[in-house]
Amino acid sequence: MTQGLGNDRETSIVMRCHDMQLLLCDELEALADRLPSGADRQHCLHLARAVYPLVVSTHEIEEALLFDPLGSLAGRVPDVPATLERLRFEHQSDLCFAEEIHDALLAFGRGEPVMTADAVGYLLRAFFEGVRRHVAFEKEILVPLLALVRPVSRSAS
């Protein structure tokens, strides 16, 4: 559904953010599937350090290049303000998850786990399943709406 919007530089950046989040979800799912004995400690440390900065940066970009422009649709699409508020709340919730994941994977990678492997797996799954649903909504519903606030003549430049 988002095909054809890729010429718009800002839309492409948002789509790249979505791709990065989905790749992170795939990595976290693969890790959750390998816990506890098949998990590589160095990989846990790598993911621990990557998850929070990636979530922060992608959310900042989405909010600036996706949510803010769509806010101008409030007069034409009544549900937009409530939807954007819900998505911003989901971003905050994901940040909290990302912090917990950072701490859990750092401890696991250092061989000093403070949570059971089952608890870490549950935490990872709760995060990546929520992020996948959130990203799917943004990709399928919000990104196409950008065409309403960024006319084709501008996006083609």
Q: Which of residues 40-79 bind Fe ion (CB under 5 A)?
A: 62
The residue behind tokens 């890790």 is 31
- Total residues interacting with Fe ion, rule: CB under 5 A: 1
Task: Provide the minimum distance between the beta carbon of 86 and Fe ion in the complex, in angstroms, as a whole number.
Answer: 11
Residue whose C-alpha is closest to residue 25's, from 89, 93, 94: 94
Work out the angle between the directed axes of helices 80-109 and 41-62 (0-180°, nearest 10).
Answer: 160
Task: Provide the minimum distance between the beta carbon of 126 and Fe ion in the complex, in angstroms, as a whole number.
Answer: 16
User: Which residue type does 3 have?
Assistant: Q
Q: Which is nearer to Fe ion, 57 or 116 (CB)?
A: 57
Q: Which is nearer to Fe ion, 8 or 62 (CB)?
A: 62
The Cα 116–Cα 36 span in angstroms is: 9
Q: Which residue is nearest to Fe ion (CB)?
A: 62
Q: Which is nearer to Fe ion, 46 or 88 (CB)?
A: 88
Site string for Fe ion, 9-28 (x = CB under 5 A): --------------------
Say how far residue 71 (Cα) sits from the centre of its chain: 20
Q: Which is nearer to Fe ion, 8 or 94 (CB)?
A: 94
Task: Give yes or no for residue 94 binding Fe ion (CB under 5 A).
Answer: no
Q: Which is nearer to Fe ion, 21 or 100 (CB)?
A: 21
Q: Which residues bind Fe ion (CB under 5 A)?
A: 62
